[in-house]
Amino acid sequence: MSTLTVLQVGPGTSTQDLGRPGFSDTGLGAAGAADRGAAALANRLVGNRPDAAVLEALLGSVTLRSDAHVVASLTGAPCPVTVESADGRVRGAACFEVVTLAPGDVLRVGTATAGLRTYLAVRGGLAVEPVLGSRSWDSLARLGPPPVTVGDVLPIGDAADAWPLVDAVAPPRWSAVLDVTAGPRDDWFTPEWRTVLAGQVHHVTPDSDRVGVQTTAARPLVRAVTRELPSEGVETGSLQIPPAGHPVLFLADHPVTGGYPVVAVLTPASGDRAAQLRPGDAVRFRVLD
């Protein structure tokens, strides 16, 4: 089996796939790639099936050595990329293109220049041991293949079903506007909630992770219904509003239930963009009719 050896890696790097849906009745969320679109694009570039496991690297910053001929791609948060051959020669590479590695090549991925999460796919997928049918690390449940560390040897599997059709793709256009649809508990807030949510800039706080993106703004959302809400199911992309009145955007590792009202839910594309937000980033919301 072909492998990649981890020579250097930053904190928060893990393997991710489509997640493990179907366990919410036991209190376990689906997890999976935080930016699902970026992970899917990385797999398409190398000809993988959609369920192939990829590497999700926080702020990029990972170095891998290949022991075989490998086809790879990088998407999500853009990073500087180089390939150093066994004889010391260095050649340039880039995110959003197909990168080929020979035995002994070292792939160096630098710090992301924008965004938060970079996705590395290799043709065949990463074949780390699955847990409950998924190769995703769930940071809330502490379940799945553990985060990647220096010295790990990542096996490459057989999750490819096609050959790459293009050499490169254009990076997705970034937007600081996140689209949401109202509900299910928008009636728990004063009628001005739409204006408060969409009419001001919100900033991402440092208390953000794969569970959710916490935000703050000048004006909080105000509750019209002040009684306690019994815990109910929540989905990825939910905008839950704690007592302080500032939205928390649930990402891949969110809990399956919550006791604060959800005023709106991100569209899937906006959920992917939310996964790329860094602390301090400014965003706006747009409520779709």
Can you give the three-state secondary structure of the chain, one letter per residue? CCEEEEEEECCCCEEECCCCCCCHHHCCCCCCCCCHHHHHHHHHHHCECCCCCEEEEECEEEEEEECCCEEEEEEECCCCEEEECCCCCEEEECCCEEEEECCCCEEEEEECCCCCEEEEEECCCECCCCECCECCCECCCCECCCCCCCCCEEEECCCECCCCCCCECCCCCCCCEEEEEECCCHHHECCCHHHHHHCCCEEECCCCCCCEEEEECCCCCCECCCCCCCCEECCCCEEECCCCCCCEEECCCCCCEECCCEEEEECHHHHHHHCCCCCCCEEEEEEEC
User: What does the alpha-carbon distance between residue 192 and residue 222 come to, in Å, rounded to a whole number?
Assistant: 8
Residue pointed to by tokens 């796939």: 17
What tokens appear for 207 in the block? 């208390």
For residue range 200-214, list pLDDT tens digits in order.
999 999 999 999 999
Termini Cα distance of the chain = 51
pLDDT of residue 244: 97
pLDDT of residue 1: 82
User: What does the alpha-carbon distance between residue 19 and residue 31 come to, in Å, rounded to a whole number?
Assistant: 5
User: What does the alpha-carbon distance between residue 19 and residue 138 come to, in Å, rounded to a whole number?
Assistant: 9
Distances (CA, A) of 100 to 17, 48, 83, 162, 285: 22, 15, 9, 16, 40
CB of 105 within 8 A of CB of 86? yes
CB of 233 within 8 A of CB of 227? no
User: What does the alpha-carbon distance between residue 238 and residue 261 come to, in Å, rounded to a whole number?
Assistant: 10
Name the pTM for this structure: 0.97
Residue pointed to by tokens 């440092």: 206
CA neighbours within 13 Å on the CB side: how many for 27?
5
What tokens appear for 59 in the block? 């702020």
Phi, psi for residue 209 in degrees, rounded to 5:
-160, -160
Which residues lie below 8 Å from residue 11, measured CB to CB, with a gap of 6+? 58, 147
Question: In whole angstroms, how large is the CA radius of gyration of the chain?
Answer: 20
For residue range 48-86, list pLDDT tens digits in order.
999 999 999 999 999 999 999 999 999 999 999 999 999
Residues of the chain above pLDDT 70, percent: 100
pLDDT tens track, the chain, 289 positions: 899 999 999 999 999 999 999 999 999 999 999 999 999 999 999 999 999 999 999 999 999 999 999 999 999 999 999 999 999 999 999 999 999 999 999 999 999 999 999 999 999 999 999 999 999 999 999 999 999 999 999 999 999 999 999 999 999 888 999 999 999 999 999 999 999 999 999 999 999 999 999 999 999 999 999 999 999 999 999 999 999 999 999 999 999 999 999 999 999 999 999 999 999 999 999 999 8
pLDDT of residue 289: 81
What tokens appear for 110 in the block? 């630098």
Phi, psi for residue 123 in degrees, rounded to 5:
-60, 120
